[in-house]
Amino acid sequence: MRKLIIASLLLFAPAMLPAAEGPPLQKAHIDLHDQASLQRGAKYFVNYCMGCHSLQYMRYNRLAADLGIDEISLRENLLFGDAKPGDLMENAMRPEDKLKWFGVVVPDLTLVTRWRSPDWVYTYLKSFYLDPTRPFGVNNVLFPLVGMPHALGDLQGQQEPEFVKDAAGKPMVEGVKLIKQGLLSPKEYDAMVRDITAFLTYAGEPIQLERQRLGFYVLLFLAFLFVIAYYMKKEFWKDVH
């Protein structure tokens, strides 16, 4: 018995350990029921991210059906290049070219909010800062020596790193400060990044929109069944006494 208790405690041990060290994450506060936010996120993703990243498990028409996007807006706003509605959301860049141009593998982002987290992606998109030693002139607090340019730099503007000294007295980047605003105000930029994060969270598990709706009907059905079962029981047992 005691072994069983210890074993079951060990099972939960990982959950009790403090999370891995790293810069603090900002809360994304996404709302997967906000269809307009998901629609905007999809549009931003196709326009600003799909030149490099794919969503290789997602089809355009699935996305349109889930997010309430009609055929005309799908064709006008979302189809990338000469893609057709039934195609997977892949881009035309060949993996070898990506590797050559960026020196790193450009990851597919279908599952990124699951292997990182929505808060991580949100914070990452807000954490690019100027660093002249890097090939694209930027670095990232959450992803040191990142191989991605700041795809939204024109919109956000330019950020400077803020340093603190670590235990050994070495300077390390702790946060960022906006020094030159881009085309969007900080509030507008946050909203945009939140929409992209919400869209990617949906893309990582499209069924979650469906699951909640379905769960409601399942419970309704069970409640209904309970009433019928109750009266049937009464009927069956009424002569047994």
Nearer to ligand HEC, 79 or 219 (CB): 79
* CA–CA separation, 152 and 23 (whole Å): 21
Asked whether position 30 contacts ligand HEC by CB under 6 A, the answer is no
* CA–CA separation, 125 and 129 (whole Å): 10
For the CB of residue 164, give the shortest distance to ligand HEC in the complex, in Å. Answer: 24
Nearer to ligand HEC, 64 or 113 (CB): 113
The residue within the footprint of ligand HEC, chosen from 28, 63, 146, 176 (CB under 6 A), is 146
For the CB of residue 66, give the shortest distance to ligand HEC in the complex, in Å. Answer: 19
CA distances from 128 to 2, 93, 149 (A): 51, 24, 9
3-state secondary structure of 76: helix
Nearer to ligand HEC, 38 or 146 (CB): 146
* Segment interacting with ligand HEC, rule: CB under 6 A, options 13-21, 80-88, 119-127, 216-224: 119-127
Contact mark string toward ligand HEC, 38..77, x via CB under 6 A: ----------xx-xxx------------------------
The residue within the footprint of ligand HEC, chosen from 38, 67, 89, 112 (CB under 6 A), is 112
Nearer to ligand HEC, 60 or 140 (CB): 140
Nearer to ligand HEC, 125 or 173 (CB): 125
DSSP state at residue 24? P
State the maximum Cα–Cα separation within the chain, in Å, rounded to a whole number.
90
The residue within the footprint of ligand HEC, chosen from 106, 141, 173, 176 (CB under 6 A), is 106
Dig out the tokens for 175 from the structure: 């946060």
The residue within the footprint of ligand HEC, chosen from 30, 67, 121, 141 (CB under 6 A), is 121
3-state secondary structure of 171: strand
> What is 96-144 written as a DSSP string?
HHHHHHHSS-----TTHHHHS-HHHHHHHHT-EEE-TTSTTSEEESSST
- Among 84, 8, 97, 89, smallest CA distance to 50 is for 89
Find the angle CA(177)-CA(116)-CA(192) to the nearest 5 degrees: 50
Asked whether position 151 contacts ligand HEC by CB under 6 A, the answer is yes
What is the binding site for ligand HEC (CB under 6 A)?
Answer: 48-49, 51-53, 102, 104, 106-107, 109, 112, 116, 121, 124-125, 146-149, 151-152, 196
